[in-house]
Amino acid sequence: MHASDISGVDLNLLKIFEALFEEGGASRAAIRLDMTQSAVSAALKRLRVLYDDRLFTPTGRGLAPTARARELKPVVTGALDRVRQSLAIASPHPASFLGRAVAIGLSDDFELALGQPIIAQVARHAPGLRVIFRQTYSQIVSDSLASQDIDLAIAAGGFGARGLSHQSLGQGDYACLVDAATLPREGLTKGLGAGNSESNSALLLEDFVARGHILVSSGGVVGIVDEALAAQGLKRTVIASTTHFAALPHLLKGTGAVATIPRHAASAIAALTGLRLVECPLALPAYPIELGWRANALRDAAVARVRDAIAACSDLLNAPRA
């Protein structure tokens, strides 16, 4: 059989390839596909012959894709997506999405704020569908969508690449998180929020600068808080940095430190912990929050349902200050 002749190719092998790549192991792929592990292993042998490559190599934690497999993944997933889209033409409003999964790219601040509501919306409007949350951010989100590592993404922009569509979910701003036990009455003031609302208490600037700061950053050592302080001739002391918003309760609790983070994440963390959301004494710029996808992805009913579920939760990103 010629390499480009598909007449003798079992196209079910493509589904097995996708599952092996995404699950990272034959046993997990077997569970996902409701197959025996021996059947998946046999399919992998056939895939290796078909593509003249090992495709996956054993590691201590499963199977790692080869360079050839990484090259094939977006092509294979793209082909499977087109098949799914063709089925959607015949059944544009399926009653069940059992066995389907849609990957959403987002940073963990958005996952903290929107993860549970999105799961609830999807369970209601796309029964049987599984949501996969994967980490991404605006600098890499277009590449992640183009390579089909994710189907949808929530980010502060980054959707300008050709072939991508996006919609606004709102605007984000910042708030501070502190351990409530470290807030003296004289260290707070009122009315420093947007619109001068008498809402959350705000730290006095002197107290804010005097505290140790926890910086959440993907790699940098200077943030927008440092820029705003520098404009006033001030500096802060960053005592630690982390790449994960979810670590903040463990880093802030029982200390006098403060973290300045997106308001939606601060609100979600404060609601589940003993930390307190307070207004930042600095005027920090707002930023766009957008939902993006590949231009043709909404032909797939599963992706369209999840896109609608995310949009239905967008009010949580623009909640009024309590």
101-106/130-135 β-pairing: parallel
Tokens of 264: 């939606």
| Residues β-bridged to residue 63 | 58
Asked if residue 177 lies in contact with residue 252, where contact means CB atoms within 8 angstroms, the answer is yes
- How does the average pLDDT of the chain come out, rounded? 88
Rounded-to-integer distance, Cα 61 and Cα 45, Å? 20
**Of the listed ranges 52-66, 174-188, 304-318, the one predicted with least confidence:** 174-188
pTM: 0.76
pLDDT at 220 over 90: no
pLDDT at 282 over 60: yes
Identify the band that residue 179 occupies on the pLDDT scale cut at 50, 70 and 90.
very high
Task: Return the pLDDT at 218.
Answer: 77
Q: Which pLDDT tens digit goes with each residue over 259-281?
A: 999 999 999 999 999 899 999 99
Give the burial class of 47: count Cβ atoms within 10 A of its Cβ; 0-12 exposed, 13-18 middle, 19 or more buried.
buried
Identify the band that residue 299 occupies on the pLDDT scale cut at 50, 70 and 90.
confident
Q: Which pLDDT tens digit goes with each residue over 139-159?
A: 899 999 988 889 999 999 999
pLDDT at 320 over 70: no
All domains in the chain, ordered by first residue: 12-79 (1.10.10.10), 91-171+288-317 (3.40.190.10), 174-285 (3.40.190.10)
- Rounded mean pLDDT, 5-15: 85
Share of the chain above pLDDT 90, in %: 66
Identify the band that residue 89 occupies on the pLDDT scale cut at 50, 70 and 90.
low
The CA distances from residue 55 to 12, 36, 37, in Å, are: 17, 20, 17
Map residue 92 onto helix, strand or coil.
coil
pLDDT at 198 over 70: no
Rounded-to-integer distance, Cα 62 and Cα 258, Å? 40
Task: Return the pLDDT at 209.
Answer: 96
152-155/101-106 β-pairing: parallel
Query: How many CA atoms does the CB half-sphere of 306 hold within 13 Å?
Result: 30
pLDDT at 90 over 70: no
Asked if residue 45 lies in contact with residue 6, where contact means CB atoms within 8 angstroms, the answer is no
pLDDT at 195 over 50: no
